[in-house]
Amino acid sequence: MSQFTETLYDGYGQQFRIDELLYEEKTDHQHLLIFHNDLFGRVMALDGVVQTTEKDEFIYHEMLAHVPILAHGSVTRVLIVGGGDGGMLREVLKHRGVQSVTQAELDPRVVELCRLHLPGHSQGAFDDSRVELVYADGLHFVSSTDRQFDVIISDSTDPIGPGEALFSADFYRACKRCLTPGGILVTQNGVVFMQPEEVATTAGHLRGIFADWHFFTAAVPTYVGGSMTFGWATDDLKLRRTPSDTLTARFLAANITTRYYNPEIHKAAFALPQYVRHLVGKMETEAP
């Protein structure tokens, strides 16, 4: 049996035993590998970096989907940038009030191969009549579309290769342009302990674009090195402080099943450790 060693960090990493190699291909955009590991189930890696596993994908997808949707309270239109494995789409579509989801994914092969080899991620979500799948560069899409969305979810790879543009000020400004009034942008922002510059750079960009910006976190075992960090940005100052009883009422009314998300986790996720507050320049005392 061979091994897969992740290449994300220089001098530190993680290793998976490949118990069964399912697929490997150099697509037009990136190197794609899907294999089975007895502990984590099926694993997908792009350009040497693990993107998702069957074992713990629910944590990441639930937090990026349900936090903005339930904080907003009346989401009908959602844009997902990236997310070719279909897990984010699955979670967004759990909300009956969502009338349309546009997904802008760069690489068609990611969608095709994940539907085949990681069907538990999408669970048929790509066939939902509310979904429009667009194969496009994410920055180009948000810069050129005339549509507006209540929530935009940037489910990107790390800021290397194809995902680099999705961490730029141009991307965040373009997202703001196609958000409805009071709309929310959330982003994948890496593991802050290992990738502090990524979070600090995003903070610098968001600070000059949105009235309210912050980060929230969740521990996802696959993304090693500490808590996963998610960016939050909106011009509605109230949404990050949506009361707990309101979140609970919305969660119960949505009647969705989750394995990680709940309203208490939602509120707690916005409480940042001091080293992260220092990093992003948010040292003021405030309720999360």
Q: What is d(CA 254, CA 236) in angstroms, rounded to the nearest whole number?
A: 22
Query: What pLDDT sits at residue 164?
Result: 74
Whose tokens are 């979070």? That residue is 199
DSSP label of 239:
G
Long-range CB contact pairs, 16-25, < 8 A, 24+: 16/40, 16/43, 16/50, 22/117, 23/113, 23/116, 23/117, 25/109, 25/113
CATH 2.30.140.10 fits 2-52, yes or no: yes
pLDDT reported for residue 84: 96
Query: pTM for the whole thing?
Result: 0.95
pLDDT at 165: 75
Catalytic residue among 47, 155, 158, 235: 155
* Fold classification of 57-280 (topology level): Rossmann fold (3.40.50)
pLDDT at 149: 98
Q: Which amino acid is at 14?
A: Q
Sequence ranges of the domains in the chain: 2-52, 57-280
pLDDT at 166: 82
- Please state the separation of Cα 254 from the chain's center in Å: 21
Q: Give, in order, the Cα–Cα distances in Å from 112 to each of 86, 138, 245, 263, 269.
A: 10, 18, 41, 34, 33
Task: Say what the pLDDT of residue 284 is.
Answer: 58
How high is the pLDDT of residue 51?
96
Please return the burial class of 284, using the count of CB atoms within 10 Å of its CB with bins 0-12, 13-18 and 19+. Answer: exposed
Taking only the tens of pLDDT, the chain with its 288 residues reads: 699 999 999 889 999 999 999 999 999 999 999 999 999 999 999 999 999 999 999 999 999 999 999 999 999 999 999 999 999 999 999 999 999 999 999 999 999 999 999 999 999 999 999 999 999 999 999 999 999 999 999 998 776 666 677 889 999 999 999 999 999 999 999 999 999 999 999 999 999 999 999 999 999 999 999 999 999 999 999 999 999 999 999 999 999 999 999 999 999 999 999 999 999 998 654 544
Distance CA 57, CA 188 (A): 13
Does 236 participate in catalysis according to the annotation?
Answer: no
Residue 41 to residues 20, 34, 176, 212, Cα–Cα distance (Å): 10, 10, 37, 38
Q: Do the bridges between strand 31-37 and strand 228-234 make them parallel or antiparallel, or are there none, so unpaired?
A: unpaired
For residue 281, which phi and psi values (nearest 5 degrees)? 75, 30
